[in-house]
Structure formats: structure tokens, C-alpha cells
Amino acid sequence: MSNQQNNDLSSKPKPYWSPYLAGFGLGLTLLASFWLLGTGLGASGGLARCAAWCEHLVLRGHVEDSAYFGKWFGDGSPHVMKYYLVFMGLGVFIGGFVSARRDRRIAPGVERGPRISSRARLILALSGGVLTGFASRLARGCTSGQALSGAAMLFTGSVVFMVCLFVGAYATAYFVRREWL
């Protein structure tokens, strides 16, 4: 991209793409993943590896004996972070960064509605994160691995997960409306 072009415009962020165009690109990315990897996209799996790695730094023996993370630390297993979804997560971050930078959308701050303090917003972000991290392990995937990838291959359980996700979110939305509206 030429710098002159940038200078002509103000430093205003560029508009988002049409959601249909972005969705089409995302769908093609998912297809490429099916074709090359034999499995879809995923985000929470990489996070779980990070979680196991962090916990292992502090509580080595405990994690190695634990029933869920323990299987990633057996004799002969590769390092816990040598997992394809860790690299995919890194790719998501880099792709997001390059796009946000080019479109001037990097704006440091805490995003929140006008009626909530930053502190309250961060507490809710943390609580929501805990719930989401737990639920992704329980359901064996998140919006990427179950809802998006699983629904595209028409797995019944994945579609059920997606429907339940929206049921849970709409049922809660009213109670956290001050966070967003």
C-alpha cells in the first residue's frame, strides 16, 4: 500500500467489509483447512495447550498426573505446545494484526458501552472468559471448532452446540445489557 494514499485520507479507520464477503472468505479458509489438514479451524484447543503449559510450569507433578491435561505430558509425547492449533492461534493473531494495522483499527483501550466502568467491564470479560474456556473443554471445541467447522460438515452434535450457544447467550443478554448498550 502506498503511503501517499494513506496521507490523503484522514487517520480514520477504513470501513469493515461486507459481512457476506468476509464470511465467504472465512468459508474458503475453512474449506482449505478441510482439504489440507483434514479437520476444520480451531481456537480454544490452542488456548487449552497454553493453559496446560502454564499450569505445568508451576505444578509439574500435579499436571502430569492429572486426568485431562496429563495425557499431553506422557513419556514420548512431544512438547505440549507443539500442537497444530497453537500455531493456528498464532496465525489468527498475526492475520488480525496485519489487517487491523492496514485498516487503521488498532485502538488501545477497553471496549465497553457508555453505561459501564472499565473495571466492571474487565471483571465481566474475565468471568466470561472463565466460563467460555471451561465450556470449550466440556463441549470439545468452541465457536470455531464445533459451531463453524462442525456445522459445515453437518455433525449433529456441532449444530446442537451452536443452537445451545445462542439460547444461552440470548437468555443472558438482558442481564448484561448495561455492559453493551
Beta carbon nearer to another protein, 27 or 60? 27
Helix axes 44-58, 84-102, angle to 10 degrees: 110
Three-class DSSP category at 45:
helix
For residue 1, the minimal CB distance to another protein (Å) is 15
The residue from 60, 68, 117, 178 that contacts another protein (CB under 8 A) is 68
The residue from 60, 115, 117, 122 that contacts another protein (CB under 8 A) is 122
d(CA 43, CA 22): 18
For residue 138, what is its C-alpha cell? 466440556
The residue from 6, 115, 117, 131 that contacts another protein (CB under 8 A) is 131
The DSSP 8-state label assigned to residue 92 in this structure reads H
Residue 28 near another protein by CB under 8 A: yes
The residue from 6, 60, 98, 117 that contacts another protein (CB under 8 A) is 98
For residue 164, what is its C-alpha cell? 445451545
Residue 149 near another protein by CB under 8 A: yes
